[in-house]
Chains A and B, each alone.
Chain A
Amino acid sequence: MLVPSLKVQDLIEEIRGAKTQAQEREVIQKECAHIRASFRDGDPLHRHRQLAKLLYVHMLGYPAHFGQMECLKLIASPRFTDKRVGYLGAMLLLDERQDAHLLITNSIKNDLSQGTQAVQGLALCTLSTMGSAEMCRDLATEVEKLLLQPSPYVRKKAVLTAVHMIRKVPELSTVFLPPCAQLLHERHHGILLGTITLIMELCERSPAALKHFRKVVPQLVQILRTLLTTGYSTEHSISGVSDPFLQVQILRLLRILGRNHEESSETMNDLLAQVATNTDTSRNAGNAVLFETVLTILDIRSAAGLRVLAVNILGRFLLNSDKNIRYVALTSLLRLVQSDHSAVQRHRPTVVECLQEPDTSLSRRALELSLALVNSSNVRAMTQELQGFLQSCPTDLRADCASGILLAAERYAPTKRWHIDTILRVLTTAGAHVRDDAVANLTQLIGGAQELHAYSVRRLYCALAEDISQQPLVQVAAWCIGEYGDLLLEGSCEEIEPLQVEEEEVLALLERVLQSHMSLPATRGYALTALMKLSTRLRGDNNRIRQVVSIYGSCLDVELQQRAVEYDTLFRKYDHMRAAILEKMPLVERGGPQVDEEAKESKEARLLEAAPVPTEPQASKLLDLLDLLDGPSEDAQHPRPLDPSPGGALVHLLDLPCAPPPAARTEVPMASSLLCAPHHIPVLVGKWVH
Chain B
Amino acid sequence: QSSTRHDTAQSEDTQQQIIRETFHLVSKRDENVCNFLEGGLLIGGSDNKLIYRHYATLYFVFCVDSSESELGILDLIQVFVETLDKCFENVCELDLIFHVDKVHNILAEMVMGGMVLETNMNEIVTQIDAQNKLEKSEAGLAGAPARAVSAVKNMNLPEIPRNINIGDISIKVPNLPSFK
Interface residues of A (CB under 8 A from B): 8-9, 12, 16, 45, 52, 55-56, 59-61, 63, 79-81, 84-85, 88, 91-92, 95-97, 118, 121, 124-125, 128-130, 153, 156-157, 160-161, 163-164, 189-190, 193-194, 197, 235-236, 238, 243-245, 248, 284-285, 287-288, 291-292, 323-328, 331, 358-362, 364, 396
Complex Cα gap A328–B115 (Å): 21
Kindly report which residue of chain A lies nearest to residue B139, judged by CB atoms: A81
Interface on chain A toward B: helix, strand, loop, or mixed SS?
Answer: helix
Which residue of B12, B30, B101, B112 is within 8 Å of A85 (Cβ)? Answer: B101
Q: Is the CB of A323 within 8 A of B33?
A: yes
Pairs A-B, 5 closest by C-beta atoms: A128-B113, A288-B71, A323-B34, A359-B33, A95-B9
Complex Cα gap A128–B111 (Å): 10
Contacts A327-B34, A327-B70, A364-B38 known; A59 to B119 CB distance under 8 Å?
no
Q: Is the CB of B70 within 8 A of A331?
A: yes
Q: Is the CB of A84 within 8 A of B135?
A: yes
Distance (whole angstroms) from the CB of B29 to the closest CB of chain A: 9
Complex Cα gap A622–B37 (Å): 54
Distance (whole angstroms) from the CB of A347 to the closest CB of chain B: 18
Whether a CB of chain A sits under 8 angstroms from the CB of B156 is no
Q: Is the CB of B72 within 8 A of A244?
A: yes
Q: Is the CB of B139 within 8 A of A97?
A: no
Contacts A52-B101, A88-B101 known; A236 to B120 CB distance under 8 Å?
yes
Complex Cα gap A80–B141 (Å): 13
Q: Is the CB of B34 within 8 A of A193?
A: no
The winner among B32, B38, B117 for most chain A CB atoms within 10 A is B117
Q: Is the CB of B113 within 8 A of A285?
A: no
Q: Is the CB of A80 within 8 A of B117?
A: no
Q: Is the CB of A361 within 8 A of B38?
A: yes
Residues in A whose Cβ lies below 8 Å from that of B108? 125
Which residue of B71, B121, B139 is within 8 Å of A287 (Cβ)? Answer: B71
Residues in A whose Cβ lies below 8 Å from that of B119? 189, 193, 236, 238, 243, 245
Q: Is the CB of B12 within 8 A of A285?
A: no
Q: Is the CB of B117 within 8 A of A324?
A: no
Which residue of B35, B78, B101, B123 is within 8 Å of A190 (Cβ)? Answer: B123
Interface residues of B (CB under 8 A from A): 1-5, 7, 9, 12, 16, 30, 32-39, 69-72, 74-76, 78-79, 97-98, 100-101, 104-105, 108, 112-113, 115-123, 127, 130-131, 134-135, 138-139, 142
Q: Is the CB of A96 within 8 A of B9?
A: yes
Q: Is the CB of A284 within 8 A of B71?
A: yes
Distance (whole angstroms) from the CB of B8 to the closest CB of chain A: 9
Complex Cα gap A402–B113 (Å): 40
The winner among B2, B115, B123, B131 for most chain A CB atoms within 10 A is B115
Q: Is the CB of A61 within 8 A of B12?
A: yes
4 extra interface residue pairs, beta carbon distance < 8 Å, beyond A8-B98, A129-B5: A79-B138, A193-B118, A197-B115, A285-B75
Kindly report which residue of chain B lies nearest to residue A167, judged by CB atoms: B113
Complex Cα gap A60–B12 (Å): 10
Q: Is the CB of B138 within 8 A of A80?
A: yes
Q: Is the CB of A326 within 8 A of B34?
A: yes
Complex Cα gap A166–B99 (Å): 34
Q: Is the CB of A328 within 8 A of B70?
A: yes
Contacts A84-B135, A118-B130, A288-B75 known; A164 to B33 CB distance under 8 Å?
no
Which residue of A55, A81, A161 is within 8 Å of B113 (Cβ)? Answer: A161
Complex Cα gap A23–B105 (Å): 30
Kindly report which residue of chain B lies nearest to residue A15, judged by CB atoms: B1
Residues in A whose Cβ lies below 8 Å from that of B100? 55-56, 59
Q: Is the CB of B138 within 8 A of A81?
A: yes
Q: Is the CB of B97 within 8 A of A63?
A: no
Kindly report which residue of chain A lies nearest to residue B134, judged by CB atoms: A80
Complex Cα gap A55–B117 (Å): 24
Contacts A129-B113, A160-B113, A245-B75 known; A61 to B16 CB distance under 8 Å?
yes
Complex Cα gap A580–B170 (Å): 131
Residues in A whose Cβ lies below 8 Å from that of B36? 324, 327, 361
Which residue of B70, B97, B113 is within 8 Å of A163 (Cβ)? Answer: B113
Kindly report which residue of chain B lies nearest to residue A85, judged by CB atoms: B101
Distance (whole angstroms) from the CB of B108 to the closest CB of chain A: 5
Residues in B whose Cβ lies below 8 Å from that of A79? 138, 142
Residues in B whose Cβ lies below 8 Å from that of A97? 9
Q: Is the CB of A361 within 8 A of B101?
A: no
